Homo-oligomer: A and B are copies of this chain.
Amino acid sequence: MPAHYYFSQSALLDYMIRYFLRWQVPVEDAAIAAEVLLSADMRGVDSHGIIRLNTYYGSRLRKGLINPLSPMTTLKETMTTIAIDGGNGLGHPLGVKTMKQCIEKAQGSGIALATVRNSNHYGIAGYYAMMALPHDMIGVSFTNSGPLVAPTHGKKAMLGTNPIAVAVPAHSQRPFVLDMATSIVPIGRVSVYQKEGKKIPAGWGVNNNGNITEDPAQVISGGALMPLGGPEIMRGYKGYGLALMVDIFAGVLSGAGFGEGVYGSSGNTVANIGHFFAAVKIEAFRELEGFKKDMDTLLTQLKESPKAEGEERIYIHGEKEFEKADRAAVEGVPLSEAAVKTLKQAGEQDGVEFDLTPI
């Protein structure tokens, strides 16, 4: 059995759109959500892609925990800022439409910031940051998420894996696209080790006493992930600080849930996730070509710098993902057996049969 099945982009998009339509998601929003989910699988971030169509989106739409109409209300707006209430809608259309407005505002004002409250999981943070690239802007996106990370000296999951995404265009080089959880690893990575019966590296997570454990089960049941950096001696309080910073911008500034309050106390309430977006017009600061050529110089300097013993390549952030997307555009989009299985289940359960033929 192959580890992955390959599907055409258009077939997957078509399937996902049909699936969202079945839940009364408007066609425009369905197309956006499908596109963002597909982009994750294209870029190799399959944990945030199509595998969640059923397990997250379908599951919550089915329970009435997401409003399929994703109604957007503008709470406050200035020349440079916009604060949105997402009406408990799908995170992807809310995110894409808000980032679009942010970019439009930045065309005029040089910079713009936007917040969204009352939203749901929006997929990969990097998608929204990258929307700025064709406009010769720097894009930024943060989102908060359900509590999984313990603060330094703590043992209870109090903060989400709260990602930071920043995208910056270059000239001949590929753009810099940082898209990072502020925990060391996402919880899904720990689950993979558990399924494979393997120990996790010491430092990824703590048990229910707050001690570092190599047992993935202890992290998942009653424990917590550690923030980037890990223990105090390795300055894990910096990762904790970054996770908290994201929660402030995406959660508190937007008026969404924050800290323990994201998803409420049980899993059966609305998520009230918050997002934060920024667009920065490079030409507000300096001439565009000079900026892009300096980006090329900096990225090339790094890539061509001397390698550590045993290493052959230094990567720029986003580079691996661009290469995967290029490959997927030619070879098809790889879906794991688990992803195909959950799509088939979704189809049976919800009457939208997953009948796609692998390439």
Contacts and interface: CB of A to CB of B under 8 A. Distances in A.
B154 A244 contact: no
A159 to B, nearest CB: 8
Contacts of A27: none
A89 interface: no
Contact of A260 (B253, B284, B295, B301): B301
A53 interface: no
Q: Which 5 A-B pairs have the closest CB atoms?
A: A210-B308, A153-B311, A178-B241, A81-B284, A180-B238
30 contacts: A78-B109, A80-B110, A111-B111, A113-B284, A151-B302, A153-B314, A153-B315, A155-B307, A155-B308, A155-B309, A158-B302, A168-B245, A168-B248, A176-B244, A178-B241, A184-B235, A203-B234, A209-B308, A210-B307, A210-B309, A210-B311, A211-B308, A229-B230, A244-B316, A252-B294, A252-B295, A253-B280, A253-B285, A254-B286, A258-B297
Interface string A302-325: 100111110111111100000000
Contact of A178 (B79, B245, B298): B245
Nearest to A75: B286
A50 to B, nearest CB: 24
A166 B83 CA distance: 21
A1 interface: no
A253 B291 contact: yes
A240 to B, nearest CB: 8
